[in-house]
Structure 1
Amino acid sequence: MSPRNDPIPAPLALDPRPRLGRDYSRVRGTDPAATRDRGRAQRLPDWSGVRRILVVRLDNLGDVILTGPTLRALKAHLPHVHLTLLASPGGAPAAALLPWVDDIEPCRALWQDLGRLAFDPARERDLIAALRRGDHDLALILTSFRQTPHPAALACALAGIPARIGESRERGRALTVALPHADDALHQCERNLLLIERLGVPVTDRRLEIRLPRAAWSAADARLAAHRVTGDYLVWNPFASCAARTYDPLRHALAARALAEYADLRLLVCGAARDRQRVGELAALLGPRGVDLVGETDLPEFAALLAGARLVLTNNTAALHLADALAVPQLVTYAGTDRDSQWRPRTSPHRLLRRPTACTPCYRFACPTEHECLALAPAEVLAAGLSLLAETSVRA
């Protein structure tokens, strides 16, 4: 039985010989000194010999959506290549909106959920076996500015993937090519694109993009008709995956209702199924214009509803990136957890609302103080929303 078909991982070869191509030190945007510092020559793959690529992007839904321009550029440059996306269960649904993905491999990785996910050797062996079955020639490991690529690279090495590429601050031998770490302040979408540009992949379009299946448009139209929504509407996404990025839902509800009333819009409240219990107390504040859709739509239908919105009101969460990909005006209550430059909309007309604080960026999941960065009065949110509506109405 060949090593590539063996269900039991072969002994780890930390420095295999990948399909070799150009000298790493000659690639645009890289640092030859960084290569020498690693103590071994690194060479990039000859793309003509690459048939199957594993793109690793774990984390949340929004993070996977931000891989879109990178996946699109890879497919444009290498149309023959089969792209498999390794994504978390939370991020995997984004693949339905990214037509450049040929296959999806959901994975809840131990190194992403340390402290929350129990160690289970059988689960880790299953992951290695699944990656081995993919018969990948190359693993492209995408990370945020705080993450290390090395655990994912180690898993790929155990699975026998010969070329493993990522950007890294640390020394390590699991990567076959370790690119210099980009500036922390760089937008996540640009970070992904820079990585492949350093590998010689041309990028002609940097815009965020998603594509909606026809069924999503039909489902959204049926949903609007069922609730007798015939004119313009506002989509309000009140929750985020972490408390530190969530504006006070009661204040948010008051601002959303006021915006809908002043601008003569219906108000669609959307969110994940896990937020059903949280939205109950807000329903009474929405008034007759409100339509509660929390937990009722899948991701493609939600995106189709966003595409038809006059305005999106959201926290810094996946809805921000979906609206940005769709160029829909959005008003974002943007917490001080992150720098504006890292996650903000790049294409859609928008306003970011937050208070400047000394602790920004904190990168916390929960605020240890009084959430001063989002101490926004509903009237302030209303004023910003009306201003954005007036501006985008003139553009239209």
Structure 2
Amino acid sequence: MCGRVKSESKIPFQKSQIRKILLVRNDNIGDVVCTTPCLEALRYHFPEAFIAVLVCRLTEEVVIGNPFVDKVYVYDKAKHGRYKFVLTAWWKQFQVLRQIRGEHFDLAIGIRSEFSPSQGWLVYASGARYRVGIAPSGKDRKFSFFYNIYVEPLKEAVHEVERSLHVLRRIGVDIDEKRLMLKLFNDNLIQADRFLSKNGIFNQKPVICLNFNRRLEEGRYWEDENYLKVIESLVAEGRQVIVITAPHEAQHVRGLIKRLNVGIPLYYSRSLKDFAAIVRRCDVFVTLQGGPMHVAAAVGTPTVALFGKNDPEIWAPWGKGHMVLRKGNDANLIGADDVVAAIRGMLARKTAAA
């Protein structure tokens, strides 16, 4: 199925021959959100082309419903544990790649700021004539046949949105207005409104949403006491506050909220779009740097983003109206008072602009 494709170090790109395009991005939610301007750019330059996307299961809701995409291919990474046996995950991936190869794509693009062997393999397995991606270096040069149109990685620190578009610029594709896109459906918005109404949250007053987001294995977290101090300060000011988290954190977060003896609504869902709909209905979103931050930016909610070791030049929420807080490489150097002051400032600016 995935027989070796003829590999040239350089291949003249003929834009007029492109009828079918596959964009591949196989990493995390925030990365895929930052790639969505690439889809609009491709549609602008190839208005009649069939455009498809290949992503992993974790991120499929980012691109489902995207108006610039004709088809979404999804596969499951073995490490995500959907299937009991690794071989089952590989077999399922093989079936997806067989479908892709049968589509006879003219152009396949691996969107990442650095070379990834796993992504390069997916692009190569598509069988596309033109295969575009970041040039491998060092020990990865043995995978150089994965691509036949190479892109030199950027050396300067620029935002991931620009780094993604940098790959497309190699084939003359760019766009002036770079907009994130995460399509929400009516069902997502209806469930959000029901949750807020059920919990006595109304749009007459601003709604502040705090996201409890922890990646302990990566050292990316904010101390629980900081969240509680922020909630206490906001409640004392008469603010409407909701808390949002991932399903696997819900029990832990519920226990924390109970310590406050105030009725703070807690929301969690396995649906990324439902999560995004709740965030969209809020006036300010507070979160650690990561996927939820990029989701909030995509649905247009002003965000207070807490950064530690990650570089805001690359990973800040895209667009205007957001605020980045950083005091070194540890997010816990940011105090609860810093966050409350940032929230007040954002609400004041919103009131002044109204």
User: In structure 2, do the counterparts of structure 1 residues 321 and 122 end up closer, same or farther at CA, with 3 Å as the change threshold?
Assistant: closer
RMSD of aligned residue pairs (Cα, Å): 2.7
Q: CA deviation at 1:181?
A: 1.0
Does structure 1 retain, via aligned residues, the 8 Å contact 2:42–2:173?
A: yes
SS at match of 1:245: coil
Matches within 5 A, 1:278-289: 278-285=252-259, 287-289=261-263
Runs of 4+ in 1 over 4 A off after TM superposition: 109-113, 117-121, 240-243
Matched with 1:42 is 11
Asked if the contact 1:75/1:81 (under 8 Å) is kept, the reply is: yes
Q: Please give the TM-score of this superposition, normalised by the length of structure 1.
A: 0.78
Tell me what 1:126 maps to.
95
Query: Any idea what SS the aligned residue of 2:179 has?
Result: coil
Task: Determine the C-alpha separation between the residues in 2 that align with 1:225 and 1:350.
Answer: 26
Report the AA paired with residue 332 of structure 1.
A
Give CA-to-partner distance per residue, 1:252-296, whole Å, 9 cap, x none: 23213322432x32212122222223323222145535101123x
Please name the residue that 2:274 is paired with.
301
Structure 2 CA distance for aligned equivalents of residues 131 and 95 of structure 1: 17
Question: Which amino acid counterpart does residue 278 of structure 2 have in structure 1?
Answer: L
1:310 and 2:283 are equivalent in the alignment: yes
Instruction: Trace 1:16-95 onto structure 2 (pairs within 5 A).
Output: 40-44=9-13, 46-95=14-63
Structure that is richer in helix per residue: 2
Alignment of 1:199-238 (within 5 A): 199-230=171-202, 231=204, 232-238=206-212
Q: In the alignment, is residue 165 of structure 1 matched against residue 132 of structure 2?
A: yes
Q: Say whether the 8 Å CA contact 2:23–2:110 is kept in structure 1.
A: yes
Counterpart in the other structure of 1:327: 300
- The SS at the match of 2:197 is helix
Note the C-alpha offset of 1:316.
0.7
Contact map agreement 1:50 1:81 (CA 8 A) in 2: yes
Shift of 1:314: 0.8
Structure 1's 13 and 350: CA in aligned 2 closer, same or farther, altered over 3 A? closer
Tell me by how many angstroms 1:317 deviates.
1.8
Distance in 1 between residues matched to 2:187 and 2:261, nearest whole Å: 30
SS of the counterpart of 1:254? helix
Task: Flag the 1:78–1:261 CA change in 2: closer, same or farther, 3 A.
Answer: farther
Deviations 1:355-388 (A, max 9, x none): 224xxxxxxxxxxxxxx44233322322222223
- 1:196 positional shift: 1.5
Identity of aligned residues (%): 21
Residue 7 of structure 2: which of 10, 15, 36 is its match?
Answer: 15
1:249 partnered with 2:198: no
> Closer, same or farther in 2 for the Cα pair 1:349/1:325, shift >3 Å?
same
Change (3 A) 1:48 1:187: same
Distance 2:7 2:80 in 1: 24
Does the Cα contact within 8 Å between 1:330 and 1:351 map onto a contact in 2?
Answer: yes
Separation of aligned partners in 2, 1:135 and 1:208: 29
Q: Give distance in 1, aligned partners of 2:305 and 2:134.
A: 30
Q: Does the C-alpha gap of structure 1 residues 276 and 289 become closer, same or farther in structure 2, counting only changes over 3 Å?
A: closer
Residue 90 of structure 1 aligns to a residue in which SS?
helix
Residue in structure 1 matched with residue 236 of structure 2 by the alignment: 261
**Which residues of structure 1 form unaligned runs of 5+?**
1-7, 17-39, 358-371
Q: What TM-score, normalized by structure 2, do the two folds share?
A: 0.86
List gaps (5 residues or longer) in structure 2. Answer: none
Amino acid at match of 1:238: F
Helix, strand or coil: the match of 2:146? Answer: coil
Tell me the matched-pair count: 342
Deviation at 1:127, TM superposition (A): 4.5
1:190 shift after superposition = 0.8
Q: Is the 8 A contact 1:354 1:374 kept in 2?
A: no
